[in-house]
Chain A
Amino acid sequence: MAPPALNSSHAQSALRSSGATRRNLLITAAFAALGYGLSKIRWRLGGNPNSHPSTPKTLEIYTWSSYVDQKLLDDFKAQTGITEVVVGILGSNEEMLAAIKAGKGGTYSILYPSDYAVTQLVQANKLQPLDHSRLIGLENILPKFRHSVHDPGNRYSIPVSWGTTGLIYNSEKLTPPPRDWSYLWQYPKLLSRRFTLLDDMREVMGATLKSMGYSYNSQNPEEIKQAYEKLVELKPHIASFTTDAWKDQLLAGDLYLAMSYSADAVTLMQEDSRLRYLIPESGTSLWSDTIVIPQPCPNETGAYAWLNFILQPSVAADMTQRLFFATPNQAAYDQLPAPLRNNQSLFPPDALLTKSEGIAPLNEAMTEIYDRYWTKLTSS
């Protein structure tokens, strides 16, 4: 192998070429002129997603890495005669939203957005209304998921899993144990830099609102401002805003508490018996991950075949056992072994959920208010 020859002279030439400020000015001026020219052209951002129809034997799905495994795909292929399932890997809801809105629609027949992302996709006109006459087994879905805030009546989406947001904590380190969100503010010394919050604007703001007795989805600017001020007070004690990096630290005992989704918490509790998951008394959010068919869709028949496959109680029950996601399918729930059915972290009894809410979609002006405070909080 040769010695890398990246050296001084390229930088010098880089310096020389971009260094002369006069030239930079010239380039800026050229850019400005171009910008003015461009301003005469009007076009729609992300307007024309290019759909290229696939063969009826292929199905493209865009999903979370842990939602599909080889067994699931093999079973699907054996049942439906679709020979190839192409799996696109989803990093986050936001990444999917941005990609689909920028024109990456048309390459997938099935998407797996979370609840609030469904609303955004509907608003952006990127989803197909579901034809219920082509679905088998929709009646098995529990009523509360058939009338969700993000998609009442399952017009666009079918829930595939659900859960809560709560606090997972180390029961050895925290005495007395937490019962509600307000615990975070009550024990600053004990908890200082020993807990993390989710890197999620709506969840963190919502939990704070809830701790003050307001709605998780408050639309009152005054309440939102109060929640922001309460969070500013907490900020010096927060170790980090993170959705996944807390796991190792909590197991190792470096963190005492983390705000987490129930699915993550249940997985982690298998590792360490000291960990407990709490659904706060004043209520929390109920979330769900869903399956939708995008518009345009390369293989519609295949997409409905996938939906009907996932709706089968045996398939849904199998997924719950392997991946620890609570199923919203009543028939599937009935098939689960008793220990799993009675796992209160996974399937909390209704009594614990009475004060909880789904994350409701907000209009643009409201989102901007939330975002302004959130950016201020995280940027400071």
Chain B
Amino acid sequence: MSTQVPSSLVTQPDAHSDKESPRWLGPLVLLGPSGLWLGLLLVIPTLLIFELSLVPGIRPGDIVNPSGLDNYGLIFQPVYFRVIGRSLFFAFGTTFFALLLGFPVAYWIALIAPKQWRNLLLLSFVLPLWTSSLLRSYAWITILRPTGVLNSFLQLIGIPPLDLLNRSPAVLIGMSYSMLPYIVLVLYASLEKLDRRLLEAAADLGANPLQVFWKVTIPQSLPGIVAGALLVFITSLGDFVDPELLGGASSMTLARLIYNQFIGATQNWGFGSALSMILIFLVSLAIALLIKYGDRSQVV
């Protein structure tokens, strides 16, 4: 999906197109079905959201009559800023921990573990995703609660119990857990292509392991890191099950707020749609910032 398509790929259909088949046939066959599908079931619903966001306080059964940006104005309240801030905090925190925990695992599978075991290791790391995310979150309640699995273990080895459940740490643990397999998948693909000779060369030139890591491994796998971070950030911004189940009384996030507008007491679909558009905007903004950062560090 690069915009800089190799020229050979671009010119190739012209050079080789059958005499009978017209030039538009290829693009139509390749892009037509997906275009139709996305157009009908993604673009139109998204436009519907956008249209609804322009109707102040619309509820189901009302006439849709777009009349302005009032719904967007509602957002400028301290309460909602706090919600947005909290969502960003959870998303950034999750991204940070997922990277921190996921990188060594991906590194180990991709570069150290025996080659014939790699697929199996990777698959078994992803296997827990096969259970319902809801059940996994409930299992975390059992683990993190004051007399739960974790604290029983800590007590056994003489460490005072941790009060994690119903507070932010539990949310970060739960969300990082859900995201870890994804980030390992992404990082693995990027690390697997790493040129091992580069690492050896750096070591031969007298770099210590830490230097090799910072000067060779990290820059080489940076695109993978950026991609993984992006995926985790976007996904965790939309997660509302973990914050709700694990985060306690003060854990309202943007995704949950949107959910409440559609399926809540007031059912203000207009405001819900406006919040959805804001979430989309926030994510796009994050992507834009990440590219800027990613591009610069690639230059350095």
Please, which residues of chain B bring their CB within 8 A of the CB of A238? 248-249
- Do residues B269 and A45 form an inter-chain contact, with CB atoms below 8 A? yes
Mark contacts of B68-97 with chain A using CB atoms, 8 A cut-off: 1 yes-contact digit, 0 otherwise.
Answer: 000000000001101100000000000000
Mark contacts of B11-27 with chain A using CB atoms, 8 A cut-off: 1 yes-contact digit, 0 otherwise.
Answer: 00000000000000000
| Cβ of B209 under 8 Å from chain A | no
Please, which residues of chain A bring their CB within 8 A of the CB of B265? 94, 201-202, 367, 370-371, 374
| Cβ of A35 under 8 Å from chain B | yes
Stretch at the interface among B28-36, B181-189, B195-203: B181-189
Stretch at the interface among A64-72, A247-255, A346-354: A247-255
| Cβ of A46 under 8 Å from chain B | yes
Mark contacts of A86-109 with chain B using CB atoms, 8 A cut-off: 1 yes-contact digit, 0 otherwise.
Answer: 000000101101100110000000
Please, which residues of chain A bring their CB within 8 A of the CB of B83? 379
Task: Give the shortest distance, in Å, between A221 (CB) and chain B (any CB).
Answer: 16
- Do residues B188 and A3 form an inter-chain contact, with CB atoms below 8 A? yes
| Cβ of A378 under 8 Å from chain B | yes
Please, which residues of chain B bring their CB within 8 A of the CB of A245? 138, 141, 245
A14 with B230, Cβ < 8 A, contacts A1-B123, A38-B51 known:
yes
Contact of B189 among A6, A124, A376 (CB under 8 A): A6
Task: Give the shortest distance, in Å, between A38 (CB) and chain B (any CB).
Answer: 5
Distance, CA A350 to CA B135, complexed state (A):
40
- Do residues A254 and B61 form an inter-chain contact, with CB atoms below 8 A? no
Distance, CA A97 to CA B287, complexed state (A):
36
Please, which residues of chain B bring their CB within 8 A of the CB of A241? 249
- Do residues A254 and B148 form an inter-chain contact, with CB atoms below 8 A? yes
| Cβ of B267 under 8 Å from chain A | yes
| Cβ of A50 under 8 Å from chain B | no
- Do residues A368 and B266 form an inter-chain contact, with CB atoms below 8 A? yes
Most chain B CB within 10 A, of A46, A92, A379, is at A379
| Cβ of A44 under 8 Å from chain B | yes
Interface size class of B (residues with CB under 8 A): 35 or more
Please, which residues of chain B bring their CB within 8 A of the CB of A375? 79, 257, 260
- Do residues A24 and B284 form an inter-chain contact, with CB atoms below 8 A? yes
Mark contacts of B167-196 with chain A using CB atoms, 8 A cut-off: 1 yes-contact digit, 0 otherwise.
Answer: 000000000000000000110111011000
Task: Give the shortest distance, in Å, between B284 (CB) and chain A (any CB).
Answer: 6
Mark contacts of A10-42 with chain B using CB atoms, 8 A cut-off: 1 yes-contact digit, 0 otherwise.
Answer: 111111111101001000000100110011001
| Cβ of B66 under 8 Å from chain A | yes
Distance, CA A94 to CA B269, complexed state (A):
13
Distance, CA A6 to CA B188, complexed state (A):
9
| Cβ of A330 under 8 Å from chain B | no
| Cβ of A338 under 8 Å from chain B | no
- Do residues A248 and B142 form an inter-chain contact, with CB atoms below 8 A? yes
Most chain A CB within 10 A, of B59, B227, B269, is at B227
Please, which residues of chain B bring their CB within 8 A of the CB of A18? 284, 287-288
| Cβ of B290 under 8 Å from chain A | yes
Please, which residues of chain A bring their CB within 8 A of the CB of B82? 379-380
Please, which residues of chain B bring their CB within 8 A of the CB of A254? 145-148, 165
> Which residues of chain A in 357-380 are interfacial with respect to chain B, using CB atoms and an 8 Å cutoff?
367-368, 370-371, 374-376, 378-380
Mark contacts of B194-234 with chain A using CB atoms, 8 A cut-off: 1 yes-contact digit, 0 otherwise.
Answer: 00000000000000000000000000011111111011000
| Cβ of B38 under 8 Å from chain A | no
Please, which residues of chain B bring their CB within 8 A of the CB of A371? 264-266
Please, which residues of chain A bring their CB within 8 A of the CB of B263? 92, 94-95, 97-98
| Cβ of A175 under 8 Å from chain B | no
- Do residues A45 and B52 form an inter-chain contact, with CB atoms below 8 A? yes
| Cβ of A176 under 8 Å from chain B | no
Task: Select from chain B the residue with minimum beta-carbon distance to A41.
Answer: B64
Please, which residues of chain A bring their CB within 8 A of the CB of B62? 44-45
Task: Give the shortest distance, in Å, between B15 (CB) and chain A (any CB).
Answer: 25
| Cβ of B291 under 8 Å from chain A | yes
Task: Select from chain A the residue with minimum beta-carbon distance to B163.
Answer: A193
Distance, CA A4 to CA B228, complexed state (A):
13
> Which residues of chain A in 308-350 are interfacial with respect to chain B, using CB atoms and an 8 Å cutoff?
none
Please, which residues of chain A bring their CB within 8 A of the CB of B257? 375, 379
Distance, CA A92 to CA B260, complexed state (A):
12
- Do residues A248 and B141 form an inter-chain contact, with CB atoms below 8 A? yes
| Cβ of B122 under 8 Å from chain A | yes
| Cβ of B63 under 8 Å from chain A | yes
| Cβ of A7 under 8 Å from chain B | yes
| Cβ of A182 under 8 Å from chain B | no
Distance, CA A378 to CA B224, complexed state (A):
37
Distance, CA A174 to CA B267, complexed state (A):
39
Distance, CA A46 to CA B262, complexed state (A):
13
Contact of B54 among A21, A39, A43 (CB under 8 A): A39
| Cβ of B252 under 8 Å from chain A | yes
Please, which residues of chain A bring their CB within 8 A of the CB of B231? 6, 11
| Cβ of A79 under 8 Å from chain B | no
| Cβ of A8 under 8 Å from chain B | yes
A3 with B119, Cβ < 8 A, contacts A239-B166, A248-B142, A252-B148 known:
yes
Distance, CA A258 to CA B247, complexed state (A):
17
| Cβ of A186 under 8 Å from chain B | no
| Cβ of B6 under 8 Å from chain A | no
- Do residues A19 and B287 form an inter-chain contact, with CB atoms below 8 A? yes
Other CB < 8 Å A-B pairs besides A8-B221, A102-B60, A380-B79, 15 of them? A3-B192, A12-B223, A12-B227, A19-B288, A35-B50, A35-B51, A35-B54, A45-B58, A92-B263, A97-B263, A249-B165, A371-B266, A374-B265, A375-B79, A379-B252
Pairs across A and B, CB under 8 Å, 21 listed:
A6-B231, A7-B193, A8-B186, A8-B223, A9-B2, A12-B226, A13-B1, A16-B3, A19-B291, A35-B54, A38-B47, A45-B269, A94-B264, A95-B263, A248-B138, A253-B147, A368-B266, A371-B265, A375-B257, A379-B83, A380-B79
Q: Which 5 A-B pairs have the closest CB atoms?
A: A8-B223, A11-B227, A101-B60, A7-B189, A39-B66
Q: Which residues from chain A sit less than 8 Å from chain B, CB to CB?
A: 1-19, 21, 24, 31, 34-35, 38-39, 42-47, 92, 94-95, 97-98, 101-102, 124-125, 193, 197, 201-202, 235, 238-242, 245, 248-249, 252-254, 367-368, 370-371, 374-376, 378-380
